[in-house]
């Protein structure tokens, strides 16, 4: 990560719980535009999940941060 490409994690307001693991998925030159923490997974069970929107991709993970979903943005989206 580079402070010239997106704000430091503390300025993003991202909870400390997510900072190290998920932000390591953000590439150099990729700008974090928004993030959303939700408390339901895809099975409608109460588990923390995080979605990060960048200028290039959507990144998602659950509270274990072992499985990361990455979706590249394209003109069709």
Say if 3 falls within a structural domain: no
Q: How many domains does the chain have?
A: 1
d(CA 45, CA 49): 11
The answer to whether position 2 is within a domain reads: no
pLDDT of residue 1: 44
Secondary-structure breakdown of the chain: helix, strand, coil percentages, each rounded to the nearest 5:
15, 40, 45
Establish if 42 belongs to a structural domain. Answer: yes
Mean pLDDT by 10 residues, the chain (77 residues): 50 78 83 89 86 91 86 81
Does residue 1 belong to any structural domain of this protein? no
Which domain covers residue 64, as residue numbers? Answer: 9-72
Residue 3's pLDDT is 46
> Does residue 55 lie within any of the structural domains?
yes
């Amino acid at each position: 990560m580079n402070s010239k490409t997106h704000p430091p994690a503390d300025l993003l307001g991202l909870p400390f719980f997510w900072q190290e693991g998920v932000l390591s998925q953000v590439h150099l030159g990729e700008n974090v535009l928004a993030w959303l923490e939700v408390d339901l997974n895809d099975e409608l069970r109460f588990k923390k999940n995080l979605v990060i929107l960048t200028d290039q991709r959507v990144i998602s993970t659950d509270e274990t941060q072992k499985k990361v979903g990455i979706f590249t943005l394209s003109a069709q989206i």
